[in-house]
């Protein structure tokens, strides 16, 4: 087999992981959750959730990946050969591919909107635009195909010349774009109400269920539990510092979510519409805002809307690339395929499932799986169950199955990283006791709710 590739530097690894983490979750859910659940009070809870719960989980994936230099399946085979842990390896090969299938449908919608924004604009009557678009059979399918082709093209170019290069360019571009949009949004008359929506602290809104959803959001946002961080970490060299890379990833992810909040909510309030979450926010509310603004300044509104949908397409791509890589790494390393062939196979599989997801808004809307449409079923299966279950198994594996010395060695660079050595006791405690209990609670809540 060809020599295994590595990311060129620690910074490259952080950019790739942050690229995976920064995605639709930061743009269409975080800002709304903050506003709804107590503003600055929620941000504090989210910070605690991100750094005390999600970061330890992320580190578990990193430790498994980097200590074995193998993908999810291969890592389990190396660390626990001949045991049932191989099912964890297999599950985490399949979960990201299910996510990729429906994520690519949404990525496709963003491409369609980017094309619309840069072409004729959104016109006068935007209220029915989205509803009419997604029920069509062909156009969304075509966009899904295009989005997936872009994803696969980057992955098939390799870890260094594909994934690393794409993220190294995209991540700075994403930050510049979102800051430009934010500056514009904050200068709109009436935008202060949006800032208040995000920042005014209201501690009375912090209930156990809000805390649970902050935790759920933080690990969705960091792409945990499905082996993407594991796989990316397996491309890190031994001398890189896992702890600071993880911290950097979590910090970038949080920063981008906050910037997205300040880019979106002030514009929402300046236009006087109701904020919401999910696809409705970016595909209905925002086009309304853009068309509303175009009366005042058509040129500016057109430019901002193009930049905005460009941001979404790029953010979605850097995430979808990481999902695709998990499957490709498995096929290349465990099934001996060439990268090109593996990419084609992943394309074929996720295109097919994604096509069903896409059609489930229109012609296949009557097909229900346990009461959900195909799209919703894939979304809930992964977000509510597979991601939490995967996270639980990863922390149990590192906390209870792997030897403490191995974990410590990996975390402290064989004892050379002093600061990590001092943090280890606390982090290990979080991994062993706190994380499993909390994740189990969330998992059971999802099961009964």
The CA distances from residue 323 to 20, 38, 363, 428, in Å, are 8, 32, 27, 27
Name which of 242, 223, 218, 261 is nearest 47 in CA terms.
218
Q: Does 217 bind ligand TRP (CB under 6 A)?
A: no
What does residue 369 show for φ and ψ, rounded to 5 degrees? Answer: -115, 115
Q: Smaller CB distance to ligand TRP: residue 92 or 271? A: 92
Interface pick for ligand TRP out of 6, 15, 25, 91 (rule CB under 6 A) = 25
What are the beta bridge partners of residue 369? 372
Residue nearest ligand TRP, CB atom distance: 23
Which three-class secondary structure state does DSSP give residue 357? helix
DSSP string, 147-167: HHHHHHHHHHT-IIIIIIHHH
Interface mask toward ligand TRP for 306-335; x: CB under 6 A: -------------x--xx------------
Least Å from the CB of residue 415 to ligand TRP: 32
Q: Smaller CB distance to ligand TRP: residue 23 or 140? A: 23
Structure tokens at 265: 């909510």
Q: Smaller CB distance to ligand TRP: residue 23 or 266? A: 23
Which three-class secondary structure state does DSSP give residue 445? helix
Q: Smaller CB distance to ligand TRP: residue 89 or 121? A: 89
Interface mask toward ligand TRP for 51-90; x: CB under 6 A: ----------------------------------------
Q: Does 350 bind ligand TRP (CB under 6 A)?
A: no
Q: Smaller CB distance to ligand TRP: residue 271 or 319? A: 319
Q: Does 96 bind ligand TRP (CB under 6 A)?
A: yes
Name which of 230, 237, 242 is nearest 419 in CA terms.
242
The distance from CA 172 to its chain's CA centroid, rounded to whole angstroms, is 17
Q: Does 194 bind ligand TRP (CB under 6 A)?
A: no
Q: Collect all residues with Cβ–Cβ distance below 8 Å to 303 and sequence separation of at least 6.
A: none
Interface pick for ligand TRP out of 12, 24, 259, 332 (rule CB under 6 A) = 24
Q: Smaller CB distance to ligand TRP: residue 126 or 286? A: 286
On whether the CB atoms of residues 226 and 96 are closer than 8 A, the answer is yes
Least Å from the CB of residue 100 to ligand TRP: 8
Q: Collect all residues with Cβ–Cβ distance below 8 Å to 328 and sequence separation of at least 6.
A: 155, 156, 339, 342, 343, 346
- Name which of residues 221 to 240 contact ligand TRP (CB under 6 A): 221, 223, 226, 228
Least Å from the CB of residue 96 to ligand TRP: 5
Q: Return residues touching ligand TRP (CB under 6 A).
A: 20-21, 23-26, 96, 99, 220-221, 223, 226, 228, 319, 322-323
């Amino acid at each position: 087999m060809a020599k295994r590739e590595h990311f060129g530097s620690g910074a490259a690894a952080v950019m790739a992981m942050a690229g995976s983490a920064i995605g639709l979750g930061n743009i269409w859910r975080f800002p709304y959750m903050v506003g709804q659940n107590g503003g600055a009070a929620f941000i504090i809870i989210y910070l605690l959730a991100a750094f005390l719960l999600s970061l330890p989980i992320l580190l578990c994936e990193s430790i498994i990946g980097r200590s074995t230099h193998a993908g999810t399946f291969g890592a389990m085979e190396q660390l626990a050969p001949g045991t049932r842990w191989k099912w964890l390896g297999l599950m985490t090969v399949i979960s990201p591919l299910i996510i990729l299938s429906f994520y690519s449908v949404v990525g496709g919608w963003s491409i369609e909107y980017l094309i619309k924004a840069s072409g004729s604009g959104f016109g006068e009557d935007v209220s029915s635009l989205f509803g009419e678009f997604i029920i069509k059979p062909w156009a969304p399918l075509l966009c899904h195909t295009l989005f997936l082709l872009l994803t696969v093209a980057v992955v098939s170019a390799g870890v260094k010349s594909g994934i690393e290069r794409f993220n190294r360019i995209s991540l700075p571009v994403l930050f510049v774009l979102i800051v430009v949009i934010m500056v514009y949004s904050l200068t709109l008359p009436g935008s202060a109400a949006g800032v208040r929506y995000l920042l005014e602290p209201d501690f009375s809104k912090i209930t156990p269920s809000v805390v649970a959803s902050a935790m759920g959001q933080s690990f969705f946002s960091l792409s945990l539990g499905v082996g993407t961080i594991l796989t990316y970490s397996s491309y890190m060299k031994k001398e890189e510092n896992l702890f600071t890379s993880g911290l950097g990833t979590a910090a970038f992810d949080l920063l981008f979510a906050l910037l997205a909040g300040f880019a979106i909510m002030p514009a929402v309030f300046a236009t006087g519409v109701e904020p919401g979450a999910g696809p409705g926010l970016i595909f209905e509310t925002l086009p309304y805002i853009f068309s509303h603004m175009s009366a005042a300044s058509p040129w500016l509104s057109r430019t901002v809307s193009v930049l905005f949908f460009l941001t979404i397409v790029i953010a979605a791509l850097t995430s979808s690339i990481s999902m695709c890589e998990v499957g490709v790494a498995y096929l290349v390393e465990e099934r001996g395929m060439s990268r090109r062939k593996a990419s084609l196979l992943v394309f074929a599989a996720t295109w097919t499932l994604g096509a069903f997801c896409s059609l489930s808004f229109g012609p296949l809307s009557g097909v229900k799986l346990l009461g959900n449409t195909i799209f919703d079923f894939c979304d809930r299966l992964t977000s509510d169950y597979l991601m939490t279950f995967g996270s639980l198994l990863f922390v149990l594996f590192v906390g209870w199955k792997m030897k403490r010395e191995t974990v410590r060695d990996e975390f402290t660079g064989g004892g050379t990283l002093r600061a990590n050595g001092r943090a280890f006791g606390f982090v290990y405690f979080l991994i062993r006791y706190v994380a499993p209990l909390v994740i189990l609670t969330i998992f059971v809540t999802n099961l009964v709710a």
